[in-house]
Structure 1
Amino acid sequence: MTAVVTAGGVSVTIRGAVVDESETVLSRLVSDGVPRSLTSGQPTLWGPDAAAEASRRLGWLRLPERSRPLPSRLAELAGAARDAGLDRVVLAGVGGAALAPEVIARASGVPLTALDTTDPLQVGRALDGDLHRTLVVVADPSGGNVEADALRRVFEAAFAAAGITGADLARRFVVVTDPGSPLAEAAGAAGYRLLPSPGDVGGRFAALSALGLAPPALAGADVAGLLEDAAALVPALAQPYDNPALALGAVLGAAGLVGRDKLLIADNGSGLAGLDGWIEHMVAESTGKDGRGLLPVVVEDVDAPGFQPADDVRRVVLGTRPDDPRARGPFGEETALSVSGPLGAQFLLWQYATAVACRVLGVNPFDQPDVQASERNTAALLRAEEGAAPTVISRVPALVCDEVEVHAPEELVRGVTDLAGVLETLLETVPDGGYLAVMAYLDREGDAAAADLRRLLAARGDAIRKSPAPVTFGWGPRLLHTTGQYHKGGPQNGVFLQITGEASRDVPVPGRPYSLRELQLAQAFGDLRALRSVGRPAVRLHLRDRAEGIARLCAALTD
């Protein structure tokens, strides 16, 4: 059975048994008046406990219209920056404030250096660029995020060291934050150009606001088309039928209700590089709480290990049209969903669908309590006496395999003597219906080979397990704002592999008693502490040499 719902340039194709499963949920959503209640901003849709938060977080529904003045203003700012010789744009942000701009920039073909990391090697390379041509966009809606704060301080010091001070320094920063935030106050005191982010929109729902649009626009992207494409979908959102966002939300919610809580996502020629990662962030951080949720598993393509049928998963293919035979993937009708449409419309589509799915699952889509728990752990680990370096965690390994240290509870690695044994033990520890999450606190560019571990672990799991275990991969600390909420707040059936590494370079954070390297480790250890506090199996591998250590890990899964 196949159902195709098309409107506003977006198509959602639903195949197989999932059509029947979602029909009951869709009928209930329609009878409850959800489409019109959502588009009119009714905050009680997610229950009384979520109403106060929801009443302050529904402004995203109006962004296609509210943001109309932005493109022309941003084009003027971009032109002024280029006239001043500032044609290299660096973004310092986290979560949706980094992911959405990066997707837009890549889709537009404009260069944007997106930093949502504390890795000293990756940040160090950005500092090595031509600072005299550099414009820094600091995007942080709350204005209190530790990564954005550290990166702003680091670039301020780098500019000063390059002889860029006073008014010349001030014009090199554009700050996007909520009015009245600590960052807004700091920006005002420094004379930085300030773009207000909408206070009634949370970061992951802000793709069509200044948070999402300003960085790529300043890098040269024409963002007006994104708003036009999103606006084309708006009329369908209040409708009970011919509403692709409602249909998608019903499918996601129905799947979660019956325990099909893994959402495998493969891009199949969408031309929207990185959209899958943005969807991962939207779905995981919104739904993963109160022991419920949907876990997105982003895979390399439709032929990737881990994209095979299983009872607890739904498969999503991005970029195909309903009549494209590739939409069926390698497993025919087993591919449950295919989604296509322009980027601006897809942002709105997935935001709406996720909000609907959260109503079905009974969770608040707008909070992220366990992200904040990891942040508190990080702050505690960084706390130190005056003049003392932060103390983070014991570094005594349970096992050393050449360049790789294995830090794990003794009972988890007892009798294991090599890396292959460690990795296979982790795969075997994954319970039925669970997953393995790889969390790499490394350099997303310089250590890019680490991402191969997702594919290799999925293939090894297929070979040694009776039922395959989905494998996710994320870069830290980015993952703290994407799947990190699901890891702690969603169903407690995950197993975790964290990877850290030595750094040949460090970067001090001016005005703070720690460096980027110490901050990165504190974030990794704070998250590890949070995972272990809820009883999840977690192993940390520390690479004494990053390149060689990654090569050893890959070899252990292929030899």
Structure 2
Amino acid sequence: MTSNQVRAGQLTVEARGAAAEAAGSALKSLSRDGVAARLTAKDAGLWGPAAADEAAIRLNWLDLPRSSRALLPELTRSASDARAAGLDRVVLAGMGGSSLAPEVIAADRGAELVTLDTTDPGQVRRVLAEGVRRTALVVSSKSGGTIETDSHRRAFEAAFREAGIDPAERVTVVTDPGSPLAELADERGYRTFLADPKVGGRYSALSAFGLVPSALAGVDVEALLDEAEALAPSLDTETENPALLLGAALGGFGGHDKVVLTGDSPAGLGDWIEQLVAESTGKDGTGLLPVVPESASAPGTVAAPDTHHVVFSSDGTAPVAVTDGTVVSGPLGAQFLAWEYATAVAGRLLGIDPFNQPNVQESKDNTRRLLEGSDGAPLPEGSPRFVDGDVRVHATADTLPGGVDDLDAALRALLGSVPESGYLAVMAYLDRDGEPTAAELRSGLAASTPRPVTFGWGPRFLHSTGQYHKGGPANGVFLQITGEHSGDLEIPGRPYTFGELQLAQALGDFGALEARGRPVVRLHLGDRAAGLTRVHEAVEALRR
């Protein structure tokens, strides 16, 4: 078996079999063009003239293992102040790059961090209700205008005031200089950490966005930076550069554009990689689609011939044997830096700009128009194709053939419409903590099709794979799940509720996919528990 293994610092990357052969060819091209040295020198021309302006203001993530150390004294003081005040519960309000990295850091280092990246009213209400008197809130948004994070901030400020607590004693803000959130934080006296504006959100794991909530939760973030810095000297070399090999394997393994990510540690790393890779590469009709199964033995893990199996681990122990794929071993800080570097390299090989996200804004704009146009009236859901028990079934034109009038047949038709090179994406706008069985639908559907199946919680995935869905290859088929609420929740100072925002986000993305001719089926659950049970029954029936 052909193999190519490179180690630097504490990180090892090994490409095996066909992946090694493809990476070897890509490495020759990268070496000929001097890509490693040019990248560490921040050459904005690496991705072509059209990407140069964006790249010129998005490459400071390369400096973060050292530059972020300037944050450490203030982070130490902030964590000490929180402990002295009895604040042992840290809630992070953030989306995408502002939430995924600290969620992984906390999980990997055994710290408790509550991540609030949902608009589901039940989930938001539960986070608000659990221990507000001992809660420190981190409001994290690069742009300072993220609608979900702004809504969370408003809800928590109201909850603090209702409990007789000055929000200025509890709120810490992480944002870019000059953002609307930075201005608001200054007006209200919130402790503020300003991030480097020349670091994009999904490349910000080692910046203030990743470090501030992690440090407040009790993580030794200096150790994380040490792990990354041990890798940094290798990044401008051609031969002793594991991150370059990883990028060559990702971007050079032609015809293997579904990247199946498995690994038990660092905990949750697959979700962070998913956002980084999907949003960075899924554009201009191309890209790499990450698939994050529940485990290495889950259905559909490496079934399709166009998959590239990548296994990650902290200690070099691969949970499954990989003959044609890539193994990435090393501590979390090194993994963060290596994957960011590799994604930038893969972007060059794919011929795209890895730093923009041209299709993310469309769903946001659709959401805003729906909310502004409702004027208090119900959102325009349209008429269902049919109703099956507690499930109302909606679909884009021509997605379901005539005569389909039950959920079993609808799911069978949807799976049957996935093209030979395509995938099925399941997108659940539900309660991630209160309705976790929704995520089990991925493995059930994957057991019934040879094509890759992904799963994302809405609106979380909109800041991740949502870019790939709309900007990547036009071979996706989509199953959207929404539901009624047992009790909605007001957003202070806004004319809409969390429930209305959640539904508007689902409908907005439905419209964006529909406008591109993507097949979409939306299952709207009346009674959520009963509706989910019926969906699981229909998925199980696919196997019979």
Same fold, judged at TM 0.5 (above): yes
Are residues 23 and 390 of structure 1, via their aligned partners in 2, closer, same or farther at CA, if it must alter by over 3 Å?
farther
Aligned length: 539
Are the aligned partners of 2:142 and 2:174 in contact in 1 as well (CA < 8 Å)?
yes
1:238 to 213, 236, 239: 236
- TM alignment of 1:51-70, pairs within 5 A: 51-70=52-71
Amino acid in structure 2 at the alignment position of 1:492: A
**Structural mapping, 1:99-138, within 5 Å:** 99-138=100-139
Aligned to 2:468: 486
| Mean Cα deviation higher: 410-419 or 549-558 | 410-419
Counterpart of 2:389 in structure 1 is 402
Q: CA deviation at 1:391?
A: 4.9
Q: In structure 2, do the counterparts of structure 1 residues 412 and 384 end up closer, same or farther at CA, with 3 Å as the change threshold?
A: closer
Q: What residue number does 1:464 align with? A: none
1:328 aligns with 2:321: yes
Question: Is 1:517 the equivalent of 2:499?
Answer: yes
Q: Superposition pairs for residues 1-12 of structure 1, below 5 Å?
A: 1-12=2-13
Shift of 1:51: 0.7
Q: Which runs of 5+ in 2 are unaligned?
A: none
Aligned to 2:98: 97
Partner residue, 2:48: 47
Partner of 1:250: 248
Equivalent in 283, 293, 314 of residue 287 of structure 2: 293
Deviation, structure 1 residue 4: 1.1
Report whether the alignment pairs 1:259 with 2:255: yes
Q: Which runs of 4+ in 1 moved over 4 A?
A: 324-327
Is 1:368 matched up with 2:362?
no
Deviations, residues 481-521 of structure 1 (Å, cap 9, x unaligned): 11000000000100000000111121111111111111111
Query: Is 2:327 the partner of 1:345?
Result: no
- 5 Å matches for 1:304-315? 304-315=298-309
Alignment of 1:21-36 (within 5 A): 21-36=22-37
| Corresponding residue number in structure 1 for 2:413 | 425
* Letter aligned with residue 261 of structure 2: I
2:157 maps to 1:156: yes
Q: Hey, what's the Cα distance between the residues in 2 that align with 1:554 and 1:309?
A: 22
Q: Does the Cα contact within 8 Å between 1:383 and 1:390 map onto a contact in 2?
A: no
In 2: Cα distance, 1:172 partner to 1:299 partner: 37
Q: CA separation of 1:161/1:321 partners in 2, compared to 1, >3 Å: closer, same or farther?
A: closer
What residue in structure 2 maps to residue 317 of structure 1? 311
Query: Which residue does the alignment assign to 2:194?
Result: 196
Q: Percent identity?
A: 55
Instruction: Output aligned runs, 1:7-22, within 5 Å.
Output: 7-22=8-23
Aligned residue in 2 for 1:302: 296
The CA distance in 2 between the partners of 1:476 and 1:444, in whole Å, is 9
CA contact (8 A) 1:390 1:518 kept: no
> Are positions 1:443 and 2:437 aligned together?
no
Secondary structure of the structure 1 residue equivalent to 2:441: helix
Shift of 1:390: 5.5
* CA-CA distance at 1:320 after TM superposition: 7.2
> By how many angstroms is 1:321 displaced?
6.1
Deviation at 1:326, TM superposition (A): 4.4
Structure 1 residues 129 and 521: alpha-carbon distance in aligned structure 2, compared to 1, 3 A threshold? same
TM-score, structure 1 as length reference = 0.94
Residue 70 of structure 1, CA deviation? 2.1
Q: Which residue of 1 aligns with 2:442?
A: 454
Give deviations 1:140-184, integer Å, cap 9, x for gaps: 0111111111111111111122222xxx32121000000110110
CA–CA separation in structure 2 for the residues paired with 1:85 and 1:344: 29
Closer, same or farther: CA 138–321 of 1 in aligned 2, 3 Å: closer
Amino acid at match of 2:334: A
- Deviation sequence 1:442-491 (CA, Å, 0-9, x none): 11110100000000000011xxxxxx110000000000011000000000
Partner secondary structure for residue 60 of structure 1: helix
Question: Shift of the alpha carbon at 1:356?
Answer: 0.2
| Structure 2 residue aligned with 1:465 | none
Cα deviations across residues 89-109 of structure 1 (Å, max 9, x unaligned)? 110001011000000011111
In 1, the alpha carbon distance for the partners of 2:189 and 2:73 equals: 23
In 2: Cα distance, 1:326 partner to 1:210 partner: 32
**1:320, 1:338 within 8 Å by CA — same for their partners in 2?**
no
Say if 1:384 and 1:391, in contact at 8 Å, map to a contact too.
no
AA aligned opposite 1:368: Q
On the 8 A contact 1:266/1:318 being kept in 2, the answer is yes
Deviation at 1:59, TM superposition (A): 0.6
* Structure 2 CA distance for partners of 1:390 and 1:179, relative to 1, 3 Å: farther
SS, match of residue 417 in structure 1: coil
Aligned amino acid, residue 237 of structure 1? L
d(CA) in 1 for partners of 2:513, 2:396 = 13
1:416 aligns with 2:404: yes
Tell me the distance in 1 between the aligned counterparts of 2:66 and 2:484.
Answer: 48
Classify the secondary structure of the residue corresponding to 1:384.
Answer: helix
TM-score computed with the length of structure 2 as normaliser: 0.97
Structure 1, 21-30 or 442-451: larger mean CA deviation: 21-30
- Residues 480-559 of structure 1 correspond to what in structure 2 (within 5 A)? 480-559=462-541
Give the Cα separation in 2 of the matches to 1:104 and 1:492: 34
| Structure 1 spans left out of the alignment, 5+ residues | 462-467
AA partner of residue 216 (structure 2): L
Check if 1:278 corresponds to 2:260. no
CA positional deviation for 1:552: 1.5
Distance (Å, rounded) in 1 between the aligned partners of 2:393 and 2:211: 42
Secondary structure (helix, strand or coil) at the match of 2:486 reads coil
Distance in 2, Cα, partners of 1:390 & 1:537: 28
Does structure 2 conserve the Cα–Cα contact (< 8 Å) formed by 1:382 and 1:390? no
**How far apart in 2 are the matches of 1:399 and 1:545?**
16
Q: Residues of 2 paired with 1:519 and 1:307: CA distance?
A: 34
Residue 187 of structure 1: which of 168, 185, 188 is its match?
A: 185
Shift of 1:403: 1.1
Q: Is the 8 A contact 1:321 1:327 kept in 2?
A: no
SS in structure 2 of the partner of residue 49 of structure 1:
helix
Letter in 2 for 1:365: P
Tell me the CA shift for residue 266 of structure 1: 1.2
Q: How does 1:377-388 map to 2 (within 5 A)?
A: 377-384=366-373, 388=375
Give the match's secondary structure for 1:286: helix
SS at match of 1:367: coil
CA-based RMSD = 1.4
2:219 to 201, 218, 221: 221
